[in-house]
A and B are shown apart, each in its own frame.
Chain A
């Protein structure tokens, strides 16, 4: 199978998201689609999936012109896609979501079980911990990503489009994911992989296409491709250069931790619904003690679903505590709720910014200033707010920099930047960041790390939850591992190694 996108253009109001794009997709090959935030990658693939209609251009499959005017048409042609922002339905169970997406689902669900058994085996192969009867609402982000993957595989797609599928997977899951991608390609599927991670590209891409500002600027063969006949191979530097258009990345050095003044005290913290507490592993927090010094960055590692989200919600005062206390500068945070959070400048970067971090229908200005709502005068001064917002938008390079558009129109990475811009502005005394660089391109990621460092240097405590062990080990002062709601190991990063942390994450035992 050979898919040709020819001269695709797509315009959103005044913004040209795709500008006469030509792209070939071959079966049996993994095509990595790279490019900075807002380059138009998601838009292009949504056009192929029929979610958007191109303004100009056409799509050929095996030299035949096809019209893809809805996702349904795309699915009928064997094209499946995993969206960057999840398209699972929260209130339905995993099984129901899978059945919805599959074209082979029997009309009545008690009659034919064979199809369901197939799906089930696919699910247990990829994500053994997920029960089909779980509600999607209760899954962690990485579990949702896996369900999305199963959904596409289950639909028997011959062309599989994955929009940043690996951004929150743990190292182990990432390994499994790469193997799966290679397997799919070897079985003759065409895979399009949109990603910001170099490792993904190096591990499984055959061909690389790079987009910048709505155009495909470069198509070349990847490093690991065995076919000798084509000449261009790339090193990682070349790739970074292609992706961001500059080679020198700002290098950030961690300052040594100053353990003199602990600002945040977490004592014997227990959180979670009664049912969840008795059933460890399901996002409860059980007996956590932690002190964070002023200017310290603590990295929290762990397989998703071991209580990270609950810990973050509890520390920021969003969840009621079952037991224990959280003190910031000697004052309790735990019964405080949101007004306290804004008054004392606790910055919170939640996971899934689209659902938890922004009001999608409001414009960027309102989304940015809403943090100061308690400090606003009775009649807020609109012009001043706008100027402030513009400044933030420029500083964090939110694209397109139009403060009056609704936040829902932003691309995935730019949405994340918007949340970061709001939360990392001012001088917060505590920053709780869940996967802060999810969906960001390489230069934006560096910028965010720099920002976090600046805040640390001016005395903020930072609780940083991430799946990316390398970055955690490189940039945080101490690293702690959550396992089934408990901290099973904590060490200074200088003394910790990947192996040690990995062991904690999987076995949950504190090494002697």
Chain B
């Protein structure tokens, strides 16, 4: 009897944490196989391993900025507001972050400045949508264009400069000798770590805390939330501002940690991609990490294929991440029916009667 109860308990526990278990198991599996690969195979030029070596870290590097933005936009859309201005907020964040890092020499200050500038720009969206009650789509596009214009104007003098004191990587010599994973550990920056940690943290907060529940309620139905004693206006403000901060932070991560330069329009549509990825991730912060990794990974793969001289036009290779996103969007749609976890409040974005 007690044995049965114990067994039942463990089964339930493992069911509850099955995703974590699966993740740990696969991580362990990958590590051991990598240890088993003989040195000679890795060294041979042109082998599959050379393509894969370091791929994970470059994938993570291009993912990190995007992940911040996806998480931010997830929060915004969770309270029932669509912000297409993330592209502009990212640009402003990238420019401000770069400028702050160049002038102060401290990349942390750069990140902070980037986040704050994104937040500042998002107040415009907040004002237009929540106070003036204008269309969220139109307001978002206005913010986007304004952001790209402002960043281009103020960023003129920083064009062409190169950062030589970005974030230092985390050194762990013991692990550095492991093939493939070694690169991952040695080239890991705090920004990448932060972005990866943020995804489950926000997930926990959204699904397990009282304030997270309040946010979800507002996104589902404003009248119902109002009737339950919540002030939907305040929550929506917070959602937009949080999204603004995170998109600015993502922009800063792009210029300060990834490219180490500033160029006009350097985000090339990443903000809009983030809006799409939010849908693929079904408005779920936990899923934001794998989904953003999908995009970042295919971007890294495209670059790597180009580097090893794959016989495909670089222009076509450049579309790989977008193609992958489209395919996933299609599969995702077929699987989950029409809505796929969309907050009900977003439906009203497209009619102008509010």
Instruction: Report which A residues bind B (CB closer than 8 A).
Output: 51, 70-72, 74-75, 81, 83, 87-92, 96, 99-101, 103, 105-110, 361
Contact = CB atoms under 8 A, between A and B. Distances in A.
Contacts of A103: 229
Nearest to B214: A100
Contacts of B227: 51, 71, 81, 83, 87
Contacts of A91: 220, 343-344
Contact of A99 (B210, B224, B353): B210
Nearest to A95: B213
Given A72-B231, A90-B344, A51 B210 contact: no
B6 interface: no
Given A91-B344, A92-B220, A75 B209 contact: no
A87 B217 CA distance: 11
A361 B209 contact: no
A101 B227 CA distance: 9
Contacts of A75: 229
B334 interface: no
B220 A89 contact: yes
B217 A89 contact: yes
Chain B interface residue number, banded? 20 to 34
B12 to A, nearest CB: 14
Interface string B318-332: 000000000000000
A375 B217 CA distance: 41
Interface string B195-218: 000000000000011110110110
A105 B220 CA distance: 20
Nearest to B227: A87
B28 interface: no
B228 interface: yes
Given A89-B224, A91-B220, A106 B210 contact: yes
B339 to A, nearest CB: 9
A116 to B, nearest CB: 12
A281 to B, nearest CB: 24
A88 B344 CA distance: 13
Contact of A87 (B209, B213, B228, B344): B228
Nearest to B218: A89
Contact of A107 (B211, B226, B353): B211
Contacts of A72: 229-231
Interface string B151-165: 000000000000000
Contacts of A83: 227
A81 B229 CA distance: 11
A96 B210 CA distance: 9
B225 interface: yes
Nearest to A80: B229
B45 interface: no
Contacts of A99: 210, 213
Contacts of A361: 351, 353
A92 B209 contact: no
Interface in B304-354: 343-344, 351, 353
B223 interface: yes
A100 B211 contact: no
19 contacts: A70-B226, A71-B227, A83-B227, A87-B224, A87-B227, A87-B228, A89-B224, A89-B225, A89-B344, A90-B220, A91-B220, A92-B220, A96-B213, A96-B217, A100-B213, A100-B225, A101-B228, A107-B209, A109-B208
A85 to B, nearest CB: 9
Nearest to A75: B229
Pairs of residues from A and B, 3 with the lowest C-beta to C-beta distance, nearest first: A72-B229, A87-B227, A87-B224
Nearest to B344: A91
A101 to B, nearest CB: 5
B120 interface: no
B221 interface: yes
A83 B224 CA distance: 10
A100 B228 contact: yes
A74 B227 CA distance: 10
A108 B227 CA distance: 22
B211 A88 contact: no
Given A92-B220, A100-B214, 17 more contacts: A70-B226, A70-B229, A71-B229, A72-B230, A81-B227, A83-B227, A87-B221, A87-B227, A89-B344, A90-B220, A90-B221, A91-B343, A99-B213, A100-B228, A106-B210, A107-B209, A108-B209
B226 A51 contact: yes
A109 B223 CA distance: 24
A443 to B, nearest CB: 30
A104 to B, nearest CB: 10
Contacts of A51: 226-227
Nearest to A85: B223
Contacts of B224: 87-89
Nearest to A99: B213
